[in-house]
Amino acid sequence: MTNLRHKFNAKPTDYQGVRYSSKKEARYAMELDLRIKDGEVLFYLRQVPFDLPGNTKYRADFMEFLSNGEVRIIDVKGYKTPEYKTKKRQVEALYPVKIEEC
């Protein structure tokens, strides 16, 4: 049997029954859950799609809804590919959002 590896060596990780594409992304979800307990974050969504020209999509890793009314869009990145950079620019040009990276 062949051992499949992610092209950037990310290791898919399960956290609370959800499969995340990397350990870093799962750790961020764990951090969000702690911030919910602290009252800073009300809730969050995962893999939020944004439609782009050319029948393509960009999926943000997280959309956070903070208790102060702020909404944050977060992409957990270990490596920024040229494709990601292009899609990020497109999303920010088409939608009134700013994508934050961690």
Domain boundaries, the chain: 39-101
Please answer whether residues 100 and 72 qualify as being in contact, where contact means their C-beta atoms are separated by less than 8 angstroms: yes
pLDDT higher than 70, residue 82: yes
Q: What is the pLDDT of residues 21-62, one digit of tens each?
A: 899 999 999 999 999 999 999 999 999 999 999 999 999 999
Strands (E), 26-98: 41-52, 56-66, 71-75
Tokens standing for residue 31: 């951090």
pLDDT higher than 60, residue 5: no
Give the pLDDT of residue 78: 83
Whole-prediction pTM: 0.87
Tokens standing for residue 79: 């490596």
